[in-house]
Amino acid sequence: GNSVTQMEGPVTLSEEAFLTINCTYTATGYPSLFWYVQYPGEGLQLLLKATKADDKGSNKGFEATYRKETTSFHLEKGSVQVSDSAVYFCALQGAQKLVFGQGTRLTINP
Amino acid sequence: EAQVTQNPRYLITVTGKKLTVTCSQNMNHEYMSWYRQDPGLGLRQIYYSMNVEVTDKGDVPEGYKVSRKEKRNFPLILESPSPNQTSLYFCASSSWGGITDTQYFGPGTRLTVL
């Protein structure tokens, strides 16, 4: 079946550091891939998505590229801010549902 | 404003006392779904609905019921809650539930069952 594996957290970085959160997936067919973000006390918000191989999703300085050959969708940002502190979820859209990774808690220190 | 709303946001109850968590969307979406979020497990789907009067089980449906009598509403019912249903619950909706569709989430309902 479909599954998503994210790097273990928590991750703590200093402001302006480079961020990578690894995400790999197992899927039948060609699912769409997503990154969702959950800020403290809030629901999930879509951060970015990619619907086919080699697509790059981007938003708010974050980027992720759909790599079919390595079955990966790693999240990157060149210079993080304190306001990026949140929990990040990688997910794939299968038949009638999203399959989520376990989430990675990110804390950015000033 | 396009949104998914849930009520209540927080609920503390006791074992066996029936409860309903409401979910409503104003985007005319066909597809709606319920997830629960537990530490270390991410989000797991409970039930989903492709349209009015069409519902189906997700990965963890035991102990839950749903109904879809109107397009905009998709309540989650716990007929006899137990402590293992203590969790953070999210309702979501999307246009049609297809693999390229984007799901929009409500703010969450934090449920504690004593």
HEC readout, A28-88:
CCCCEEEEEEECCCCCEEEEEEECCCCCEEEECCEEEECECCCCECCEEECCCCHHHCEEE
Task: Considering only the beta carbons, identify the residue of A4, A45, A93 that sits closest to B101.
Answer: A93
β-partners of residue A77 are A19, A62
Look at A42 and A59; give whichever has higher pLDDT.
A59
Q: List CB contacts (< 8 A) between B107 and chain A.
A: 42-43
Residue-level pLDDT at B97 = 76
- State mean pLDDT over A36-43: 90
Cα–Cα distance measured from residue B18 to residue B14, given in angstroms and rounded to the nearest whole number? 9
pLDDT band at A56 (very low <50, low <70, confident <90, very high): very high
Q: List CB contacts (< 8 A) between B31 and chain A.
A: 96
B19: left (phi over 0), alpha (psi -120 to 50) or beta: beta
Instruction: Tell how strand B10-13 and strand B65-66 pair up.
Output: unpaired
Q: Does residue B92 register a pLDDT over 80? A: yes
Q: Is A97 on the interface with B (CB under 8 A)?
A: yes
Residue-level pLDDT at A43 = 86
Residue-level pLDDT at B100 = 75
Tokens of A2: 């479909």
In which residue are the tokens 């089980």 written?
A: B57
Contact A98 B101 (CB under 8 A): no
Q: Is A27 on the interface with B (CB under 8 A)?
A: no
- State mean pLDDT over A6-22: 94
Contact status, residue B21 vs residue B113, Cβ threshold 8 Å: no
Please state the φ and ψ torsions of residue A84, each to the nearest 5 degrees: -85, -5
Q: Is A3 on the interface with B (CB under 8 A)?
A: no
β-partners of residue A36 are A46, A89
Q: List CB contacts (< 8 A) between B108 and chain A.
A: 42-43
Cα–Cα distance measured from residue A68 to residue A33, given in angstroms and rounded to the nearest whole number? 11
Contact A44 B100 (CB under 8 A): no
Cα–Cα distance measured from residue A35 to residue A22, given in angstroms and rounded to the nearest whole number? 11
Residues 50-79, chain A: which have Cβ within 8 Å of B? Answer: 51
Q: Which of A83, A85, A71 is nearest to A9 (CA)?
A: A85
Report the range out of A56-60, B36-40, B98-102 with the highest average pLDDT: A56-60
Contact B99 A36 (CB under 8 A): no
Q: What is the pLDDT of residues B39-75, one digit of tens each?
A: 888 899 999 999 999 999 999 999 999 999 999 999 9
Cα–Cα distance measured from residue B33 to residue B25, given in angstroms and rounded to the nearest whole number? 11
Contact A102 B44 (CB under 8 A): no
Tokens of B74: 């998709």
Q: Does residue B99 register a pLDDT over 80? A: no
Contact A100 B107 (CB under 8 A): no
